[in-house]
Chain A
Amino acid sequence: GAVVSQHPSWVICKSGTSVKIECRSLDFQATTMFWYRQFPKQSLMLMATSNEGSKATYEQGVEKDKFLINHASLTLSTLTVTSAHPEDSSFYICSANSGRVQETQYFGPGTRLLVL
């Protein structure tokens, strides 16, 4: 299947700092990538849809000025958590459409963020 990578896999930071998470599609081009957040024992909540060459589409209740998304190329999307606070501590996962027949989404391995 298609491969999606995320970097870093783990981040621990102080409250008030900004954290950038990268999502890359390694063996295919992704015009659309998705960013999810998952709190412990809860399901994935879609935060935003990242579109190459245009602005991201945010889900209701997600602050676009706090969670900055940049889809710089067909293989890279970044999520920046600005002025992170402890309540932003979560598991952030990106995914991308493979563009193949099954049209499924392939997920990156996730980034665990801990804000102290």
Chain B
Amino acid sequence: GQNIDQPTEMTATEGAIVQINCTYQTSGFNGLFWYQQHAGEAPTFLSYNVLDGLEEKGRFSSFLSRSKGYSYLLLKELQMKDSASYLCAVRGGNRDDKIIFGKGTRLHILP
């Protein structure tokens, strides 16, 4: 079976750093994605990891360890607009294979 786990909710303070973890067990692996979703809107793409290591993109970084089935999304210099759900998603063995989403982590930013 396929399983993607991430915390349900997290709270952090404006200007701080927060790390959202994701663990997965899937049949085959061809990439891990992080998406941001604001309430009532469609998800927007944040990052993509297919090899082990850290990918940095501005205030957001994403890390992957394939041997551990583990990823995290790191958000720096938090802003109020970062309050959203963050979805961890994994694609199976083929390039056109479906992407399975975790249940998402709702991040609350406090002033």
Contact = CB atoms under 8 A, between A and B. Distances in A.
**A and B from one assembly?**
yes
Interface in B5-43: 30-31, 33, 35, 40-43
A93 interface: yes
Interface string A36-51: 1000001111100100
B78 interface: no
A102 B48 contact: yes
Interface string A78-116: 000000000000010101010000111111111000000
A49 B98 contact: yes
Given A43-B104, A44-B87, A107 B42 contact: yes
Interface bracket on A: 20 to 34
B41 A109 contact: yes
A46 B100 contact: yes
B60 to A, nearest CB: 14
B41 A110 contact: yes
23 contacts: A1-B45, A32-B96, A42-B103, A43-B103, A43-B104, A44-B87, A45-B101, A91-B40, A93-B42, A93-B43, A97-B95, A97-B96, A102-B48, A103-B30, A103-B91, A103-B95, A105-B45, A105-B99, A106-B45, A107-B35, A107-B44, A109-B41, A109-B42
